[in-house]
Amino acid sequence: MLDEITREESPEHHPTTARILRAALEEFLDKGIRRAKLEEIARRAGVSRVTVHRRYPGKQDLVTAVLIEEARDLYARGRVVARAEKTLPDKIAAAFVFIFDYARHGRLKPLLLSDPGPFLPAFTTRGEPLIVLLRAYYLELMRDAGVHHPAMEVSADVLARTVVSYCLSPSAVVDLRDPANAADFARHHLAPILQTGP
């Protein structure tokens, strides 16, 4: 499932789009989202402003696309981490620690701290592409662990939305900054969401 999404939607199969997204990420990191200019992104990508605008009519569209591509890369690397584990609870724990660590220390974190506004739609009102990607990731972990039940997609959807919430909003109840605590939390509270159908 995740491989299918990656093949169909990844900008690796659209070289111009890939260049635009790399250029946009560089521009955002260098100048911040609000000061970033589409003209400069086009210059960095070696394309015209019209080409950028044709693919991404507004800056918000570009922000969302950059975030999705970053998430796609993150999940691809997290998949390698999870596959090293044998049981589903251990896979979920390894994946959660990896993803949560990125949420705290990844290269987009300074942008989220300094100017979260442009990112919020990608996690909320326009967050479905991110959820679709993460849901496919958890479905793949379930299949790798030999877990099958009629409500797999619903379970994966619930977990995807839960993980996004924990990554965006620190918990006052569970200290997830410690990797051991985060792994224990994932094994005991997140993995059961996937293991058992209704």
CATH for 74: 1.10.357
Q: How many domains does the chain have?
A: 1
| Spatial distance between the Cα atoms of 187 and 93, rounded to a whole number of angstroms | 6
Q: Kindly state whether residue 162 falls inside one of the protein's structural domains.
A: yes
> What local confidence, expressed as pLDDT, does residue 4 receive?
38
**pLDDT value at residue 162:** 94
One pLDDT digit (tens) per residue for the chain, 198 residues: 444 334 334 554 589 999 999 999 999 999 988 899 999 999 999 999 999 999 999 888 899 899 899 889 988 898 899 989 989 999 999 999 999 999 888 888 888 887 788 888 888 887 888 899 999 999 999 998 889 899 999 999 999 999 999 988 878 898 899 999 999 999 999 999 998 765
Measured in whole angstroms, the distance separating CA 43 from the mean position of its chain's CA atoms is 27
* Residue 85 backbone zone (phi > 0: left; psi -120 to 50: alpha; other: beta): beta
| pTM exceeds 0.85 for this model | no
Q: Which amino acid is at 4?
A: E
Q: Is residue 183 part of a domain?
A: yes
Phi, psi of 76 (to 5 degrees): -60, -40
Q: Give the model's pLDDT for residue 8.
A: 39
Q: What is the pLDDT of residue 126?
A: 79
Both tokens assigned to 144: 């790798």
Segments forming the whole domain that contains residue 94 = 2-9+59-195
68 occurs within a structural domain? yes
In a domain, 89, yes or no: yes
**Residue 42 within any structural domain of the chain:** no
The answer as to whether 64 is a domain residue is: yes
Distance CA 21, CA 15 (A): 10
In a domain, 53, yes or no: no
Query: Residue 142 falls within a domain, yes or no?
Result: yes
Q: Using DSSP, state whether 162 is helix, strand or coil.
A: helix
Helices (H), 32-151: 38-45, 49-55, 59-83, 88-105, 109-114, 120-123, 128-144
The reported pLDDT for the residue numbered 47 is 95
- Tokens matching residue 104: 């705290």
